Structure 1
Amino acid sequence: MRLAWEIETDLPVAVIRLAGELSVETAPEVRLAVATALAIQPAAVVVDLAALTAADDVVRTVFSECARSAAAWPGCPVVLSCPSGDVAAGLDRLSVSRSVVVHPDLGQALAALEEVPAPLRLWQRLTATPSITGPAARATVVAACETWGVGEDAGLQHVANRAELVVTELISNAILHAKTEIELTVALREPFLHISVADGSGAPPRLMSADSVETVGGRGLILVEALATKWGYLPTRDGKVVWAMLRLDPPRHGPGVATPDHPAN
């Protein structure tokens, strides 16, 4: 039996509705659904399990995995909406509720998230045209930093120059390797500024050596790794999203890369 899913992106909360059977074979679809929802950087994600069945208990731990991934980036909660029944009983047996909040219905889940602060957020769709896309992306990041940091957050002003460089390399990487339409999201979740670039290619980003950098006039993900507190990527239904987090105060040493299976610390 297949597992189907759809996402309602009525921000600030994204709702994922799962329908079908959760099994070892279909569990990757749950990860993909959550990653696709996270790509828009919502305030929170609710996974509705009302139309879900489960082949065995162990696969239910996929929800704990998804919650850990969301905590690493973009730092938002993932909660479950699950009426009483076999699926709910299985969640209890595996103590999934220790790592993921479980509500008995969607209404209660949404009500519980009303107080979760929505991040300040800018979103922009761009074409893969180097002469236009790069400057437009930089302008968006600069505008975000100026708007959110004027007169109250010196840390955000400090990070603006690094953010410009990071978005330039993320956009250049997407133009060179994906050659698809690009979606840029800039969000403020203190103490981090988040920059993410979604494209239509499922190929993971490659961190190349300094001697083999192939970017459009830039230094590629090597520079992103040097400037970001941490960065990584997630596969989505339509491709992938590559993200970077920049701490508002001077960056700590030891930035890292996070993959879907290995979040950076």
Structure 2
Amino acid sequence: MTRLTADATAAEPGDPVILRLTGSLDSETSPVLQDAFNRCLPEEPGLIVLDLGAADVATDAVSALARLADQASAWPGARLVLGGAAPAVTAMLMAAGLTQRVPMYRSADEALMLVPAKAPMPDRVLMPLEPNITAASRARRLVDRCCAEWDLAALRDHARLVVTELVSNAVRHAHTPLEVALSRRTGAVDISVRDHSGALPRPGGPVAPTVEGGRGLLVVDLLCRAWGATPTPDGKVVWATLETAGVF
């Protein structure tokens, strides 16, 4: 396997990330890039600049770059851009149609200068999560960002409680990868958690005050205008709707 290194630099979590490649990027070495990219996303950067200035990119690596673009778009506010590619690499990527999906700049520094470090938060955001002890805290950070961007600070505390219960319940009982979705519409914010278990949730009883989550769907029922669980072909979606006007 031809050697490839991928080094990421960012000052603080959430800051733009420069992911510098050195060596040959092809179908055999693309897992090196994928691993480095996967380590960047949990820091929730608004912008990831893939610096190709020291990389030789093979034609069979285009699909790997396209997958990264798709993966970035699934994270709230994250964008992938390319910078510093040699003219021949630029021509190849343009011919392959990749630059129609992923913006390209002459250098990583140019990308940092011209691309806003933070994209506007869309009206619907998705975040994939693994069923582990960090899932609820990451979901709360997503709520914090959405409430700040959507100017819904008064909703933040209730939304954090709801997302904690939904995610913690899925981690505790489904034991499958999750996807959290937050969306806003007139008068309401919808929070949902998708998993791959067909078992529908049931409200629980009292739990110890030291346990994260576990207050069950009683809390969700108390705070939300409506909530429910919808079966899907590969599992279920548990959803809840919070009012955004006239209740705080």
Q: Which of 199, 212, 225 is the aligned partner of 1:210?
A: 199
Cα gap change, 1:35 to 1:143, in 2 (>3 Å): closer
Q: Deviations over 1:41-89 (max 9, x none)?
A: 11111111111112x3132232222112211223421000124333223
Aligned mates of 1:190, 1:82 — CA distance in 2: 38
Partner of 2:83: 81
**Aligned partners of 2:16 and 2:117 also within 8 Å:** no
Aligned mates of 2:47, 2:191 — CA distance in 1: 15
Partner of 2:34: 31
Cα gap change, 1:158 to 1:12, in 2 (>3 Å): same
Aligned mates of 1:105, 1:149 — CA distance in 2: 30
Q: Deviations over 1:9-41 (max 9, x none)?
A: 224211111111111111222222222211211
Q: Which runs of 5+ in 2 are unaligned?
A: 122-131, 201-212, 218-230
Partner of 1:91: 93
- In the TM superposition, 1:243-254 aligns within 5 A as none
Aligned mates of 2:93, 2:68 — CA distance in 1: 14
Cα RMSD of the aligned pairs, angstroms, is 5.0
Cα gap change, 1:247 to 1:108, in 2 (>3 Å): farther
Partner of 2:159: 159
Cα gap change, 1:249 to 1:149, in 2 (>3 Å): farther
- When normalised by structure 1's length, the TM-score is 0.54
Aligned mates of 2:94, 2:149 — CA distance in 1: 44
**Aligned partners of 1:47 and 1:81 also within 8 Å:** yes
**Aligned partners of 2:51 and 2:85 also within 8 Å:** no
Cα gap change, 1:27 to 1:116, in 2 (>3 Å): same
Partner of 1:20: 23
Cα gap change, 1:98 to 1:151, in 2 (>3 Å): closer
Deviation at 1:96, TM superposition (A): 1.4
Aligned mates of 2:31, 2:114 — CA distance in 1: 27
Q: Which of 42, 45, 50 is the aligned partner of 1:47?
A: 50
Residue 59 of structure 1 aligns with an amino acid whose one-letter code is A
Cα gap change, 1:36 to 1:169, in 2 (>3 Å): farther
Aligned mates of 1:50, 1:142 — CA distance in 2: 33
Residue 20 of structure 2 aligns with an amino acid whose one-letter code is R
Aligned mates of 1:149, 1:100 — CA distance in 2: 24
Aligned mates of 1:150, 1:77 — CA distance in 2: 19
**Aligned partners of 1:5 and 1:33 also within 8 Å:** yes
Residue 24 of structure 2 aligns with an amino acid whose one-letter code is E
1:61 aligns with 2:63: yes
Partner of 1:116: 118
- When normalised by structure 2's length, the TM-score is 0.58
Deviation at 1:94, TM superposition (A): 1.2
1:2 aligns with 2:21: no
Report the structure number with the largest CA radius of gyration.
2
**Aligned partners of 2:26 and 2:59 also within 8 Å:** no
Cα gap change, 1:249 to 1:62, in 2 (>3 Å): farther
Aligned mates of 1:23, 1:142 — CA distance in 2: 34
Deviation at 1:194, TM superposition (A): 9.6
Higher-RCO chain (CA-CA 8 Å, sequence separation at least 6):
1
Partner of 1:101: 103
Residue 8 of structure 1 aligns with an amino acid whose one-letter code is T
**Aligned partners of 2:16 and 2:45 also within 8 Å:** yes
Cα gap change, 1:7 to 1:112, in 2 (>3 Å): same
Percent identity (aligned): 22
Q: Deviations over 1:119-145 (max 9, x none)?
A: 7xxxxxxxx99xxx99x959x669949
